[in-house]
Structure 1
Amino acid sequence: MADPDPWAGFTAFAFSYIRLRNELCDVNQRLGDVLGPSRAELRDRIRNLVERAQRAGAMRTDATWEDVAFLMVAASSTGPHTLGLRAGARQWERNLQIVLDGLRRPGPAPLSGEPPALAP
């Protein structure tokens, strides 16, 4: 929320959130869902960031903050292989960039990382 550019603030949050989520997911399961109390605060942050970007005209308005929460998690859910393809380096970043481009107004940003390749 501190970034004066609503889209830049939202995308910085999205990349930080997915990176942290990927690192903590296994830890949280092993510790018995200790992150549960933080979920309400996280929902509020996502809602605030999405609504701010929408008000600024930087994000499509037909996607709800709840849609965005599911899309961010979907972008982070990559295994090392799918359909005989090997994930590219930083695959989750490419996935998230594609999701963000689908939300962004007026247009997309360049993709980061490498595309997936056929598994050896």
Structure 2
Amino acid sequence: MWGGAMVWYGIHKTGIPDIDLEHANIDTYLELARKSGMDETVFNNLIRALTLHFEHEESLCRDLKLNFTDEHRAEHQRLAHLLKLLPYDEKNPKEHLEFFKQMLISHISDFDRYINKAPD
């Protein structure tokens, strides 16, 4: 479970270079946390990166006229709120990683994989 490099958020390519790069960068943060430990600084940086990514993804989708649903926007808001309230627990770094893993896999499969050009 904890061996090998992780690819959670970047598992599905959207075809939008900026979005795919941000997903890969978040995976890099998670890999760092897995290898070095999920200390409070890494935890807070990861939450900040995810929150900023959600905002940037929405902006890109709007600017590029991509398929970005109201449900997707609502899910970003729900996740951003959840992340804001998520307490850091130094005793359970693997549980934090598992939470992020499940959250991102679910988000990709339920929402991000549908980002594409909106129908004309």
Same fold (TM over 0.5): no
Q: Which has the higher contact order (CA 8 A, sep 6+)?
A: 2
TM-score range, shorter chain: 0.3 to 0.5
Considering fraction of residues, name the structure with more strand: 1
Which structure is higher in helix share? 2
TM-score, normalising length: structure 1? 0.43
